[in-house]
Structure 1
């Protein structure tokens, strides 16, 4: 019987014979993008007639201007972030930080100036620091300072607000005060039990043979993620300039408290990259400088994507406590910096 079965299985065309599998073609985002570009090129004249509307032209100009101005700083920021992730071991910071948590907070805040990185990259860096034995207060201070007070962000702010050096100084002071205040608050009232155990486990350093690979992967991932938020922010900025009546922003100029609160909430919702948010804020011409400053201080400290990253890295219990306090502290520090350096403008 077994011989009969073996003979049947060898008959050509039998159902048991192995046949080569055909590979199915799947449409990916690249094919969709190419198709859209092809349609846009072929129907260029028709599209120009269809979208020849003053409001759309204004919106397109604002969108392109925000993206073109912010993109070089975004690329530079993600390259530096990738280099830090690949070539700067966490033990380097561990050696320079004081043992006392209160003193380490100040050093970690200033370290954010020398070791820049976007807010998306600062979360895993802070997790690595904690895993390497750095005091959580210092690691969380670095988490908030690195994306907000580094040279790339400050230069981008100066370019976005030409002739306004006080805006750069106010952003630096407000963001650094936010980072250090949150570090001292954690040193006084924070609990390790709020952080998940996996976040406290020690992480291995990047092997020398994989550093360039880690650099490329980190930079590419950060650029894709931050670039998406930049495009979204530019699109929303263009929409606000076109769809929202100018008198609505005029209300914000007359109601400073309302303007500060609205821009603070907008910073949380938009979740822009810190290398690009200054250009979006500058494009809102009718909004006074003080609400814009609060927007720039709150955004890198806490937004929806940062809350998700913190919850996934350190645990929901940590994020539920850390995020609301950070929002309040950033709002107060940004307002205080504006009153001191901008005169409440």
Structure 2
């Protein structure tokens, strides 16, 4: 019973720690939905996959969200038709490359400023590389969960219809439409309840605020359930898998990096406070392994994987996990031997 009590305590602590950042991410996502014209945003993004991934990674500086809050924002990016390289770059980099996390890392390791520098550079480089790799898939709908892929398909159809409407009469557009007093609404949008506030003609405060509140409630229902499930799994693993099993691997340069990466995935601690957790291992683990923990944890942990499943197919997440893990390992190994 004591183990179950400890598991429940950890579950509640993970949930309490993550929920505010999930809420922040959902609010940012909803603001993007109602205030940003995705067509103008897409036009301003670089077409080159490498530059797109790099820009997506740098956007993380503007969003103070951890690995729980970045998922709804990345999902909104995908729904707006933003290239996969940009969305993936943001998804990986935002939990680390934001002012809150950089500041907390500096406070924890003020005596080792190189850890702050290489955490930022390593996260930026890995996010850019992974985003570039996944930009090879030209159709993002193949990477998404069926429900989200369907939403993206209808959003693209709505954007195409609106582009045609700029040059033709609404009565001459193809498809079936409901005719309202102010605008025409595609039947597919009504049937799937797809919101498209960025393209709506009514930009009054009441309409925008209603769309904002509605989208916040919808995304909290969807992602909140996934967060609860992921937090429960993380708590159970922390209690029933002895941490000594993982730490016993950290006796050499290579095994210590692997051990800290495994620990980062299991512990699922928020990126805003993970530097203080890593600081407790500074006397027994190498600096390279600490960097592996600080870089890999915000990208891939059990809690974040659960949220990612609300966007991507499991196969994509597996590739995502393997590629990010290999790059993190190589970066930490290079630091250990050459720096």
Please report the TM-score for the alignment, with normalisation by the length of structure 2: 0.64
Q: The residue matched to 2:82 in structure 1 has which SS?
A: coil
- For residues 116-195 of structure 1, what are the structure 2 equivalents within 5 Å? 116-188=64-136, 192=140, 194-195=142-143
Structure 1 equivalent of residue 254 of structure 2: 257
For 1:94 and 1:115, the matched residues in 2 are separated by: 19
Alignment partners' CA distance in 2, 1:76 and 1:311: 20
Q: Deviations over 1:185-236 (max 9, x none)?
A: 11236764642343334363563235368669989988x969x96xx88xx6
Q: Structure 2: how far apart are the matches of 1:181 and 1:138?
A: 11
CA distance in 2, matches of 1:152, 1:272: 15
Q: Following superposition of structure 1 onto structure 2, how do residues 1-345 of structure 1 map, counting pairs within 5 Å?
A: 81-89=25-33, 91=38, 93-188=41-136, 192=140, 194-196=142-144, 197=146, 198-199=148-149, 200-201=152-153, 202=155, 204=195, 207-209=208-210, 211=212, 252=250, 255-285=252-282, 286-336=284-334, 343=339
Q: Tell me by how many angstroms 1:294 deviates.
A: 0.2
Distance 2:269 2:77 in 1: 25
- Does the Cα contact within 8 Å between 2:227 and 2:307 map onto a contact in 1? no
Would you say the 8 A contact 1:85–1:218 is kept in 2? Answer: no
Deviations 1:253-309 (A, max 9, x none): x51111001111111122222112111111224222211110111111112222232
Separation in 2 of the partners of 1:94 and 1:132?
Answer: 8
| Cα shift at 1:244 | 5.2
Structure 2, unaligned stretches of length 5 or more?
1-8, 156-193, 198-207
1:191–1:330 Cα change, 3 Å: farther
Q: Deviations over 1:3-61 (max 9, x none)?
A: xxxxxxxxxxxxxxxxxxxxxxxxxxxxxxxxxxxxxxxxxxxxxxxxxxxxxxxxxxx
Distance 1:150 1:250 in 2: 33
The aligned length equals 269
- Distance apart, 1:166 and its partner CA: 1.0
In 2, Cα distance between equivalents of 1:332 and 1:98: 28
Alignment root-mean-square deviation, CA: 4.1
Q: Runs of at least 4 residues of structure 1 off by over 4 A?
A: 74-80, 212-222, 248-251, 337-340
> 1:319 deviation in Å?
2.0
Given the superposition, is the C-alpha separation of residues 210 and 204 from structure 1 closer, same or farther in structure 2, using an over 3 Å criterion? closer
Tell me by how many angstroms 1:134 deviates: 1.0
Change (3 A) 1:166 1:319: same
Q: How far is the alpha carbon of 1:132 from its aligned partner?
A: 1.1
What residue number does 1:12 align with? none
Which moves more between the two structures, 136-145 or 304-313? 304-313
In structure 2, the CA distance between the partners of 1:99 and 1:162, relative to structure 1 (3 Å rule), is same
Q: Larger C-alpha radius of gyration, 1 or 2?
A: 1
- Return the offset for 1:144: 0.7
Whether the 8 Å CA contact 2:249–2:259 is kept in 1: the answer is no
Contact 1:116 1:150 in 2 (8 A): yes
Normalised TM-score (structure 1) = 0.63
Secondary structure at 1:274's aligned position in 2?
coil
